[in-house]
Amino acid sequence: MNSDAAVLTKKSFLDAPSRSRASADRQNNATCREISRFKRRKLLDHLKGHALSTAVFVTVFALWEIASRTGLVDPMFSSSPSAVVLTGIELISDGTLAKHVLASGKVYVLGVGSAIVLGVPIGVATGWFKWVNRAFSPLISAFYTMPRIALMPVFIIWFGLGTSAKVALVLLSAIFPLIVNMQVAMQNIDEEYKRVGIAYGATQWQLFRTIALPSSVPFLLTGLRLSMGRGMLGVIAAEIFGGAEGLGYLIQYAGATFQIDVVFVGVVVIAGFGVIVDRSLAYFATRVDSWKITSS
């Protein structure tokens, strides 16, 4: 009797690891199934969102086309999607659109690039050093609220009608969202992190390099999204005001000569560029946020 009990006990002891492995396998399989369901739901929601936005665009353009063809609106003043597409193909074929896109792109890259190079360190300095903030904050606030297009005549007097005046306007349009966002980033660092760093003997440079800069990345991306949008507005305003080439000039000249198709081609190109840049930065921001949550 005792020997049978001992055999059963030994058998149970030997079977325990296999049972635990089986239980772990079941838990892993359940977790994998739950992850698969979550990914499918996320993909389905993503596809539904794209389908909804596509349906809205198609509906708007279809109604626009119908209204133009049936005479509900005057095609001379509103054009139609089909006419805009045909005009766009014509402008691409003869090289006109490429010439104006390259001219605007040059001004945009120079202006926004200069804004990033100058705006990020200025924002970091005004947020990290209190005396810099007290000295320059009123000046930054004044320029931030000022309509930059009002300075275009001054830039034309200073720099002439060439690229420099347009780059200056784009620079002023794009730099202040970066300055303000980086300033807020430096002023909103988690005090608990700073106290821990100080407790471990970290210097101000180490606190800045290991805590302040990494935590400022979401603010930087937000500033870039705003800055790039403002920069494009600055490009178009500068070219309308004092340009002889570029998308802004193309839109202004086409509007003055009632070429509504050309106006809409320019608007579509600008809107497409804005959507691509904004969605790219938004996607990168979500990746940064997910990294931040995972690492915390």
Q: What is the pLDDT of residue 296?
A: 42
* Spatial CA neighbour of 288 closest among 238, 205, 222: 222
Q: Which residue has the higher pLDDT, 74 or 92?
A: 92
Instruction: Tell me what the mean pLDDT of segment 21-45 comes to.
Output: 69
Cα distances (Å, whole numbers) of residue 159 to 122, 154, 274? 24, 8, 28
Phi, psi of 127 (to 5 degrees): -85, -30
To the nearest whole number, what is the mean pLDDT of the chain? Answer: 79
Q: What is the pLDDT of residue 113?
A: 92
Q: Is 8's pLDDT higher than 60?
A: no
Instruction: Tell me what the mean pLDDT of segment 250-254 comes to.
Output: 88
Q: What is the pTM of this model?
A: 0.74
